[in-house]
Amino acid sequence: MTIDLNFSSDQEQIHRSAQQFFRAEVPPELVRRYRSGREGEEEFARDLWKQMAELGWLAMPFAEAHGGFDAGVVDMYPIFLELGRSLAPVPLLETVILAGGLIAGLGSGAQKDRHLGAIARGEAIYAAALGEDIASHGIAPTSITARGNSLSGTVPLVSYAGSADFLLVLADDQSLFLVDRTAPGLTLEAQPNIAGMPLYAVTLADVPGEQLGGNAQAVVEAVVAKATVLQAAMVTGAGSRILELSTDYAKTRTQFGQQIGKHQAVQYRVTDVAIDAHNTGLLALHAAWAIDAGRPFLRAAAMAKAASSRAAARMPEAGHEVHAGIAFMIDYDLQLYTRHCKHWEFSLGDRRTSLEQVAALPA
Amino acid sequence: MVDFCADDTPQLKAWREEVRTFLQTELPNGMHFDFDFEEDPDRWAECMDFWQKVGRKGWIALTWSPEYYGLGRSAAEHWILQEEFAEYGAPVYPIIGMQVAAALLRHGTHEQRRRHLKGIAEATVLWGEGYTEPQAGSDLASLTTRATLDGDEWVINGQKTFGTAAHMAPWMFVLARSDPQSSRHKGISAFLVPLDAPGVTMLPMHNIANGRQNATFFDDVRVPKDCLVGTPGNAWNQIWFGMGGDSLMNGAPGPDHWYARMTRTLKLLRRFVAEGTRGGRPLSDDPIVRLQMAELEVEVETARLCGFEMHSNVVTGSPRAGSHIYTINLQQAYIKELYTRFAQGCMDVMGPLAQVQHGPWAPMAGLIEQQYRAAFGNHAGGTSQLKRMTLATRGLELPR
């Protein structure tokens, strides 16, 4: 064993399958259909989700008893790389990694059998309402209080809550609950947003929940860290597509009688994208390895998150500078990445939150 | 299979311990020394004394063949040694000798290796670099120093500039045009030139970071035919670009040397933040300082991981990000720009006293002030602009 940053042959195989699948099944039109922010539109592509269940991808990180093979974060990395590159409108991170990870980490045998089985088969969608560190501006308090098994409060930005069958809700005493999304007292308020993501403010008024395990803090911290790393893989994948669009455009667009890619000012902006995508991928791969190797990983994951938030902000900016007018048009695909990158920049903690985590954890 | 750990076996763990113990014994108080930014003869003597101890262990030539003064040890052991040296903050070995060694081990003759590798392995012979010329900096391939074969001797004429540490060195590794009809990179050869040869003159060029560089003039300097390395006219491919420019590290790269410098400084800065106060409040409680430090931590960690990637790419022969030329130019563009940004970031954390050089008011004994000046030496081995242009045109195939 020695230093090696290449995927194993099994991971290469997973990567090739993911490449083929997402490139064939997720054309930009599909992304447009689900991410236009139109009211009444489906939140995710159910056909795609069904196919991913058949491929076994929804069960991969679970134990064998639940249809998986205990896949590590590095095993999942290539799937998320390609998912991010395609912008596939599916709740893989939310349902499998976040909710599935929490149930696998805290659930009883019966809870795992029921819920992980449903996730693995693609039968049910789960959303995670773990709370966000937000700047309040006079709106309702956002923490969830638990009295016994009765939950009250509001969580502001919950992805896929509209199509979820169950929500995982973290109370402010760090206890975690499974909540039936159709339970009385649970209301959703859609949050129109730049990415056209299905985001909701979820309000609970004495809603009954089913508790998972005891103090959930450590498990939540680890599962969220894992999710931020795989989200950074998605940002890296999206970056590879932004880089490809920008490089292709710089090679083909001519002005002043030559390809604009000959101008070093343009080359600079293209290489900005390459550097950000590369560094985010490197930090994410390192954190993924640390998790799988059983090493301390919270600092590595926070660094990957901080880098991915910055890359998510900067890569579309550089892409737009290279493209100028054409990418400002709604029919051009770059804007799909611009919008979704903004979601990733803030989702699971913004840059400030992750940098504060880095500062708080010893080197 | 993805692995960021070099010492997964008990033998390698023991090796790491051995290196660590050596450093604690031989450098108990550390040594903040950058060979390219240092003129004090006593400090140089101290540094070379340390490196000669390393040399006596056989560790400079760790991976070389025993036939050429090496120990024939693995790339992983080389990485561990370099990593320990970087984390400990030991001085970096004057890099040009290692470049000469890498070139000779790949393309030198048996006689050249026997003659020159010993002094490099023992740290008794320093080497100067003769690449850059007044009119050939970033555009190195336009160099005009000529080498003409006259019987059994090459006759060298021309001028080299910005030569780091050349005045400390009895030998220089010189790139010169051996085919007068050639243009650009075709027709450039590499020569091992003794600097006491008649016709060599050297003038000092003092840099802004306390170091001396040199202008070296060659007037009909005659060297034996066997001072040429490799085959005539092929230096560009064999020695320079063939191995990825400035990462000529004998097939087993260690952590990036700019990373080594930054991590050494960052450790001291962490202590400054842990102990310092501002406006009556501990610096470590200041949310702005915390964010500034976290930014530096993320960037220096990124530079650290770049070293792992380069090692993996070279040792496995499988560049993770497509091609070697893509990765090295991307990494170098990033790290070179980071180096100046890092120095400024340290100053931001430190505040107004960061400008003071000596005396009781100088934080960290003026280290950050000196490192800030030294950061503008980040062009050594090619500017970040050049790395970006190469990344764009050769890595991403944008038009030239």
Partners of A7 on chain B (C-beta within 8 Å) are 1-2
Say yes or no for a CB contact (<8 Å) between A271 and B333: yes
Q: What is the interface size between A and B, counted as CB pairs within 8 Å?
A: 145
**A250, closest residue in chain B (CA to CA):** B398
pLDDT attached to residue B229: 95
Alpha carbon dihedral A104, A108, A109, A113, in 10-degree steps, equals -60
Q: Can you tell me the distance from the alpha carbon of B248 to that of B260, in angstroms, rounded to the nearest whole number? A: 17
Cα pseudo-dihedral A35, A41, A43, A48, rounded to 10: -90
Provide the 8-state DSSP code for B241: G
User: What are the chain B neighbours of A6 within 8 Å (beta carbons)?
Assistant: 1-2, 312, 316, 318, 320
Kindly determine whether residue B396 and residue A268, on different chains, have CB atoms separated by under 8 Å.
no
Min Cα separation B17/chain A (Å):
17
Query: In this predicted model, what pLDDT tens digit does every residue of B176-227 receive, in sequence order?
Result: 999 988 888 889 999 999 999 999 999 999 999 999 999 999 999 999 999 9
Task: Enter the pTM of the model.
Answer: 0.95
Task: Compute the Cα dihedral for A208, A211, A215, A216 and give only its sign.
Answer: negative
CA distances from B200 to A48, A282, B212 (A): 73, 47, 18
pLDDT value at residue B152 = 97
Higher pLDDT, A176 or A41: A176
**Closest chain B residue to A248 measured between Cα atoms?**
B398
At B244-259, the pLDDT tens digits run 433 444 567 888 888 9
Q: Among A2, A259, A306, whose Cβ lies nearest the Cβ of B3?
A: A2
Is the Cβ pair A289, B391 closer than 8 Å? no
Taking CA atoms, B286 is separated from B279, B292, B293, B294, in Å, by 10, 10, 11, 12
CB–CB of B294 and A278 under 8 A?
Answer: no
Which positions ≥6 away from A208 have C-beta within 8 Å? A149, A150, A151, A179, A183
Joined tokens for residue B276: 């310092």
Give the residue among B390, B136, B65 at the shortest CA–CA distance from B245. Answer: B390
pLDDT at B8: 84
Q: A234 near A83, Cβ under 8 Å?
A: yes
Cβ contacts of B83 on chain A, cutoff 8 Å: none
Contact (Cβ atoms closer than 8 angstroms) between residue B240 and residue B106: no
Whether the per-residue pLDDT at B94 is higher than 50: the answer is: yes
**The Cα angle at residue B142 between residues B136 and B146, in degrees rounded to 5:** 95
B308: closest chain A residue by CA:
A3
A123 Cα to chain B: minimum distance (Å): 33
Contact A283 B385 (CB under 8 A): no
Q: Least CB-CB distance to A274: which of B306, B391, B397? A: B391
Interface test with B, best of A1, A2, A258, A259 (most B CBs within 10 A): A2
Q: Alpha helices, DSSP H only, in chain A?
A: 9-25, 28-34, 46-54, 73-86, 100-106, 109-120, 217-252, 264-292, 298-323, 325-328, 334-346, 351-360
DSSP A237-260: HHHHHHHHHHHHHHHH-EETTEEG
Is the separation of the CB atoms in B322 and A300 below 8 Å? Answer: no
Chain-chain contact of A3 with B293 (C-beta, under 8 angstroms): no
Q: B188 and B233 in contact (C-beta within 8 Å)?
A: yes
pLDDT tens digit sequence for A321-339: 999 999 999 999 999 999 9
> Residue A109's CB: how many other CB atoms inside 10 A?
8
Is B2 in Cβ contact with A5 (below 8 Å)? yes
What number is the ipTM of this complex? 0.95
Q: Which amino acid is at A247?
A: T
Of B246, B253, B259, B244, nearest to B339 by C-alpha is: B259
Residues of A in contact with B330 (CB under 8 A): 271, 274-275, 278
Q: How far is CA A300 from CA A257, A306, B62, B302, B397, in A?
A: 47, 10, 31, 10, 33
pLDDT at site B251:
62
Q: For the CA atoms of chain B, what is the radius of gyration? A: 22
Residue pair B28/A35 in contact by the 8 Å Cβ criterion: no
B321 vs A278: CB contact, 8 Å cut-off?
Answer: yes
Q: Do A356 and B290 touch (CB under 8 A)?
A: yes
Residue B248 is predicted with a pLDDT of: 43
What pLDDT score was predicted for residue B240? Answer: 63
Inter-residue contact B71 to B131 (CB < 8 Å):
no
**The dihedral formed by the CA atoms of B372, B377, B378 and B382, expressed in degrees to the nearest 10:** 170
**Residues of B in Cβ contact (< 8 Å) with A251:** 397-399
Helix (H, G, I), strand (E, B) or coil at A93: helix
Residues of A in contact with B79 (CB under 8 A): 2-3
Q: Which amino acid is at B279?
A: G
Smallest Cβ–Cβ distance between B298 and the set A258, A289, A358 belongs to A358
- DSSP secondary structure of B256-285: -HHHHHHHHHHHHHHHHHHH-EETTEEGGG
Higher pLDDT, A340 or B103: A340
pLDDT digits (tens, 9 = 90+) for B11-53: 999 999 999 999 999 999 888 888 888 888 999 999 999 999 9
- Per DSSP, the three-state class of A319 is helix
Nearest CA in chain B to A2: B6
> Residues of chain B with pLDDT > 70: what percent?
97
Alpha helices in chain B (DSSP H): 10-26, 41-56, 75-88, 95-107, 110-121, 235, 257-275, 287-316, 324-350, 367-375, 384-390
8 Å CB contact between A87 and A94: no
Task: Please report which helix (H) or strand (E) contains residue A213, including its range.
Answer: strand A210-215
Residue partners of B119: CB distance under 8 A and separation at least 6: B125
Output DSSP code: residue A7.
Answer: P
Q: Does A7 sit within 8 Å of B1, measured CB to CB?
A: yes
Q: Looking at the complex, report in whole angstroms how far the Cα of residue B34 sits from the nearest Cα belonging to chain A.
A: 24
Question: Most B CBs within 10 Å: which of A1, A4, A291, as the mutation test of the B interface?
Answer: A4
Which residues of chain B does A268 touch, with a Cβ-Cβ cutoff of 8 Å? 388, 392
Shortest CA gap A257–chain B (Å) = 13
Contact A271 B308 (CB under 8 A): no
Predicted confidence (pLDDT) at residue A135 exceeds the cutoff of 90: no
- Residue pair A299/B355 in contact by the 8 Å Cβ criterion: no
Query: B256 vs chain A: nearest CA distance in angstroms?
Result: 15
Residue B55 has pLDDT above 70, yes or no: yes
Buried b / exposed e along B269-291 (16+ C-beta atoms within 10 A)? bbebbeebeeeeeebbebeebbb
The shortest C-alpha distance from A298 to chain B (Å) reads: 13
Instruction: Please tell me the predicted confidence (pLDDT) of residue B244.
Output: 46
Nearest to A286 among B4, B311, B333 (CB): B4
Average pLDDT value over all residues in chain A = 95
Query: What value does the mean pLDDT take over residues B226-236?
Result: 92
pLDDT of A203 strictly over 60: yes
Q: Residue B333: its chain A contacts at CB < 8 A?
A: 271, 275
State the pLDDT at residue A141. 55
Handedness of CA A31, A35, A38, A40 (dihedral sign): positive
Contact A303 B330 (CB under 8 A): no
Distance CA A60, CA A97 (A): 10
DSSP B131-157: --BTTBSS-GGG---EEEEETTEEEEE
pLDDT-wise least confident of A140-144, A154-158, A214-218, A305-309 = A140-144
> What confidence tens digit (pLDDT) does each residue in B280-324 have?
999 999 999 999 999 999 999 999 999 999 999 988 888 888 888
Judged by phi (left if over 0) then psi (alpha if -120 to 50, else beta), residue A68 lies in beta
The answer to whether the Cβ–Cβ distance between A6 and B2 falls below 8 Å is yes
pLDDT band of residue B334 (cuts 50, 70, 90) is: very high
Give the closest residue to A146 by CA, choosing from A166, A128, A172.
A172
Mean pLDDT of A53-60: 98
Q: Contacts of residue B6 in chain A, CB cutoff 8 Å? A: 2-3
Cα four-point dihedral sign A242, A248, A251, A253: negative
* CB-CB neighbours of B335 under 10 Å: 23
Tens digit of each residue's pLDDT (9 = 90 or more) over B340-386? 999 999 999 999 999 999 999 999 999 999 999 999 999 988 899 99
With CB atoms and an 8 Å threshold, state whether B398 touches A262: yes
- Start-to-end C-alpha separation, chain A: 25
Which of A15, A121, A23 has the alpha carbon at shortest distance from A76? A15
Q: Is the pLDDT of residue A284 over 50?
A: yes
